[in-house]
Chain A
Amino acid sequence: MSSQPAVHGQSGPPAAQTPAERVLELNGVHTYYGNIHALKGVTMDVAPGEIVTLIGSNGAGKSTTLRTISGIERAREGTVRLNGRDITKMPAHEVVALGVGHAPEGRRVFSRMSVAENLDLGAFRRSGPDVATDLARVYDLFPRLKERRTQKAGTLSGGEQQMLAIGRALMTQPSVLLLDEPSMGLSPILTEQIFKIISEINDQGTTVLLVEQNALMALNVAQRGYVLQTGKIILSDTAANLAANEQVRQAYLGEI
């Protein structure tokens, strides 16, 4: 582990920018579930326009990291900064308004509501003409959602629900989009499609923090990556370097 480029606790990963230029910045974040110490000092950052991926095995704390960022869980120690502003102690519903869009693990669409209502809820804190612009953008990215906008979200297929979850998070007009396991439970073809759309969203200027178990796909679309293991960042490098890294290949890319 000591031979790796960056180790837990150190700052300055390869693509590091000056602090002001970071959309998202976590510094020594500790999160607990009751007595379970889930995050043990996570330090990472995301710069504007990037896709950064957070990979790691089951239970490593990937989802907890995202939940801590968006305020569903509260860090007991450390700080979370969004565009330079401390949001560590802020409740989730206020964090959204400052620009964190979170598509949670397992999609969790509002299944008894229509597709359109789900998307409207994404814009709950917003008003004005740009809401309509964003809605048009989401329907552009996901034409399937437009076709099914009056349908109850619970009747959608898994892939469509994932599209809805991403679209709904985009409707919050995020400065960083948190995606939690967008490929979960999807066929390889659908997974590829979703990842293509993630790149497209990024090309349109949205910064993305992507949590994935499918490390290969994630490292393909991302510029940088972090490897999380039992609540600690053990590796941080460019996506290309991580994909070539022996340790990563063994542990997460299914190579022996």
Chain B
Amino acid sequence: MRFRLPQRFNLVSTILWGLRIVVAVLVLAGSWATLSSGKLTPDAWRELIVFGIAQGSVYGLIALGYTLVYGVLFMINFAHGDVFMTGAMTAFFVARNFGESGFINANPIVALLIIFAVSMLTSMLVAIVLERIAYRPLRRAPRLVPLITAIGASLFISNSIRGIYGEQSQSYPSVTALQGRLDLFGIPILKTQALVIASAIVLMIALVYFVERTRTGRAMRAVSEDKDVAALMGINVDRIIVTTFAVGGLLAGAAGVLYALVFNEVDWFMGFLPGIKAFTAAVLGGIGNIAGAMVGGLTLGVLESVGPFLLLGGANVPSPNQLRDVIAFTVLVLVLIFRPNGILGRSEPGR
């Protein structure tokens, strides 16, 4: 007699279900152990969450650059992390100057605006040059070719900065106006983190407005759907592509300063890990999807900050924070197993 399994019962889905259950059990057990041990006070949790949101906002801003470029070119711009780094590194010299002259504390708002402008414009310029020199000539090449160019460009930019600005880490001067805490609806938040979150919100709203409401934004959406037909509408596709890189660069430059304010240190290698994390965030949220990049960034930021303590804190792991990257990338793998198109991703036909 032949034994037949029901049609919808197959090996892969069984393994996936098993995995789901194991993950759920581990998450619940770990969280329960941590929470019942009471090792962390509610205040500590709140700190972790707010820090996660701030960090996630930075990831989200960088992730937008990946997702915008992917949207129009279906290419991962692996040099984007270095675009971010270049802005922060260049603005450091302005910041140091302002710090030494005392201008940064005499007039913090103007000083910060100038620092932001320098960083954003530098990153934008690097992104534009990158597109013109490294990617545009390869527009019709097979898809693997620009990917390799991107990695090459990434090494080129980071090592150029290392050569120009030196190898040692630099720290941004502290801004007195940003010291201490801000009382937000009864929750005391570090002022730097409040600034990071607020700036990210403003930039994201500006971006959504730009993409949804302006003529250029509409052209960008048209190019991302169909380049040939966009050209038939009279849209200069090359110009829209370079604009996309420029917008991604502006956001990365802003993220660079925010990153420097939160983590204080900048160096030539600072683009690497945030770049990978932001790329992860973009994939997590659904690559090519603007809201997805923000959601992915925030999710990753909070997971990274809260996850290690929540899952491992109760298990007496010595310093769970060291395992943040492990947790973050485990989450990426899990999300991609269960939602291959990301949290907000739609299934793209073909391409």
Contacts and interface: CB of A to CB of B under 8 A. Distances in A.
Nearest to B237: A93
A175 to B, nearest CB: 14
B14 interface: no
Interface residues of B, number: 17
Contact of B225 (A112, A120, A125, A172): A112
Contacts, number: 61
A143 interface: no
Nearest to A67: B228
21 contacts: A70-B232, A92-B232, A93-B234, A93-B236, A102-B232, A104-B229, A108-B226, A108-B228, A110-B222, A110-B225, A111-B225, A112-B225, A113-B221, A121-B219, A121-B235, A122-B233, A124-B215, A124-B219, A124-B233, A125-B234, A169-B232
Contacts of A72: 228, 231-232
Task: Bin chain A's interface residue count.
Answer: 20 to 34
B218 interface: yes
A111 B222 CA distance: 10
B233 A91 contact: no
B231 A121 contact: no
B71 to A, nearest CB: 11
B351 to A, nearest CB: 13
Contacts of B225: 110-113
B222 A92 contact: no
- In the A-B complex, list the 9 residue pairs whose CB atoms are closest, starting with the nearest: A125-B234, A92-B231, A96-B234, A124-B234, A121-B233, A124-B233, A93-B236, A108-B229, A110-B225
A110 B234 contact: no
Q: Which of B226, B230, B231 is packed against the most chain A CB atoms within 10 Å? A: B231
A160 B82 CA distance: 46
Nearest to B221: A113
A104 B232 contact: yes
A93 B231 contact: yes
A96 B219 CA distance: 15
Contacts of B219: 121, 124
Give chain B's interface secondary structure class.
helix
B234 A113 contact: no
A97 B232 contact: no
A83 to B, nearest CB: 17
Interface in B200-230: 215, 218-219, 221-222, 225-226, 228-230
A224 interface: no
Contact of A168 (B215, B233, B235, B237): B233
A121 B236 contact: no
Contacts of A113: 218, 221-222, 225
B228 A93 contact: no
A91 B235 CA distance: 10
Given A71-B231, A96-B232, A96-B234, 6 more contacts: A91-B236, A110-B229, A111-B225, A113-B225, A120-B218, A121-B230
Interface string A159-175: 00000000011001000
Contacts of A121: 218-219, 222, 230, 233, 235
A179 B233 CA distance: 14
Nearest to A97: B234
A94 to B, nearest CB: 8
